[in-house]
Structure 1
Amino acid sequence: MRRIFASALLALSPTLVAADVVPHVSYGPRPAYLIDKLPEGTLKSTLQACAAQTPAASTFSIGHRGAPLLFPEHTVESNVAAARMGAGILECDVTFTKDLELVCRHAQNDLHTTTDILTSDLAATCATPFAPATGGTPATAECRTSELTLAEFRTLTPKMDSSDKSATTPEEYQGGVAGYRTTLYADQAQTMTHAESIALFKSLGTKFTPELKSPAVEMPFNGFTQADYAQKLIDEYKAAGIPPSDVWPQSFDLQDVLYWIENEPEFGKQAVLLDASYRAAGFDHTNPETFPLDFAELRAKGVNYLAPPTWMLLTVEDGRIVPSPYATEASAAGLNLITWTLERSGPLSSGGDWYFQSVADLTRDDSMYYQMLDVLAQDVGVKGVFSDWPATVTYYANCMGL
């Protein structure tokens, strides 16, 4: 079968990475490009003064699905690129196959946008077959890892996450890549199981932050319970001999986090609750009366890490970006904050998108990436930042001694 790599990464191309050899870290041109756009002032001069620094990996810099600004997400190539940009922690979003093997995918039901399944022999396995766009109705499809065995999953070719909603054929549906992304590095990208990601990340000298994704199927699935799922994720780190202190397991489901705290307390110490409070009716990150979470209660239950999206941690006062009441109260309760996702938004000339909604009035160009990052690091005090292009965060972390 294509792209099966054996234990200890024996089948990885030596041009990608040699096992147990930490890659040389390089920033590339993007940090300087963003710094050049900054308005004159202390931040710009400070970052410019670090131009000659020696790049080094930092755990403040977290690869979000690898480096998906240019590489297909959750692939070997995407994560090698992230490590080469100094991401000290790499992410595998974890879901499962029909035969209950753990694999790296952002969602259990995203194969129709992240792989070539619709143009492959496995198209018939899709939970919702491809339906072409007709009239005002967009093209649709839904394909799940839980419909495939691991052997079948391995035959898929990853691609940039995209879909053309106006498509009338499965081939056309493969398009729709955002203009600020590229297909240049998508050729022959390699998928990974969760266990293979552990071996790869270890060889790259990074730490680990797996996210237990919400199943798209009813649980239990073929006798596989949610607790089995949460436990299997941890068991694969234990089998690989990874110290719990190197792992930050994540979930949007508080029950998963509490399961780890109770049943795997060494791993549970660094379990990360991903916060989706923004989905709650009436939520306002500047009004504590609307917060669904009780931060003090979370700490009392043993939760040490909380990870909201970047915009929830920031607001604007008197024309300046400042920590939001959400950030202030969460920090006061003793929660360590991690946030997502820098550089997921592309060019910011129009004010940015969902990730910039709380600072949109101040957002004029791509320099806002560094202005936002500076407030998150210096004023909010976040412990780490997920990025689609980790070099940006790595440069800042090295310059600021993070």
Structure 2
Amino acid sequence: MDFEFDATTEDYRKRLLAFMEEHVYPVEAGYHAEGDGWEPPAVLKELQSKAKDAGLWNLFLPGEHGAGLTNLQYAPLAEITGRSPSIAPAALNCAAPDTGNMEVLAEFGTPEQQERWLTPLLAGEIRSAFAMTEPQVASSDATNIGTRIERDGDDYVINGRKFYITGAMNPHCKIFIVMGKTDPDAARHVQQSQILVPRDTPGLTVKRGMTVFGYADGDHGGHAELVFENVRVPAANLIGVEGGGFAISQARLGPGRIHHCMRLIGMAERALELMCVRALARTPFGKPLAEQGVIQDWIAESRVRIEQARLLVLKAAWLMDTVGNKGAHTEIQSIKIMVPATVEWILDKAIQTHGAAGVSQDTPLAALWAGARTLRLADGPDEVHKRSLARRELNRYRSRS
């Protein structure tokens, strides 16, 4: 494994670091001051235009549709955007849930589906959402999904309820990828299918916006509860084949999980930076915070944990590039377990170092903490990944007993 930046990565890093300094950090303070939290600030369009001009667009997507970067090349770039996760990913058209939806359409969509939905998503002209999680079932087990997708002639009819659907509150969200059951009697992992539902389809109701620890979470376009009542769409809107929904979701979530972890490393670096600056600037009880042993312990421990997390994320990215997502399954689950919890710990210490200011709107720390804590649930809770990882480890030894 060689994690030294190649020439392509280094070129993108230099341009992205300059973009962050010149365009992103200066607008952070007022970014969410406009509107009700669901409407993207007007400055986002300006940032997107500047990102396109700088050649910093669709960096996440390999192949002909994106920048053509490998996961290992993209990792340090995603880390940089994680330093300002409310702004930078969206400015570069590298924000969830659009990233995963574009990957699904690029890999599984028909030419017609790609022309109608992938093309405008790649251009940043529209936003999208992925509707899987449901309030009435344990959605940590995706096979529990109760939403029905039933064939009726040349159409499918959808009935069900979804919640915490990321991106749905954004008024620019024009298309939903909906996961539901087409055959409840089939084998467990082939009961589900995925289908495209335009936002203006009759019977689809955006019932309410849902906050995250009180935040609108507007960088993701806002989360929503959705109701599907006899929603009818053409059969041509099915993605892939009937029964292929679970497999598609797993293909989608693999890159999504590592992208989240890449950005989390940047969040941790930002937190450590703020912690150090604060520790040097404050003098309680006659000496700077930076000279207090407990603060030094937090700073040293934070640096060690960041380096450990980064190396494991880079290993996962390298494996995805060399042996595929399936071959990197153990590492992807490992980073999904470890990185959010690690970054949550670092953010907690940075908040503690700032005192009351750490939980206020005057620093990014409170919002970053809410994001890191949420990622211990999003894309699968810690416990589910630990269960799966433990099973895989145990299977290595079953034949010996």
TM range (shorter): under 0.3
Higher helix share: 2
The structure, 1 or 2, with the larger RCO (C-alpha pairs under 8 Å, 6+ apart) is 1
- TM-score when scaled to structure 1? 0.26
> What is the TM-score when the length of structure 2 is the normalising length?
0.26
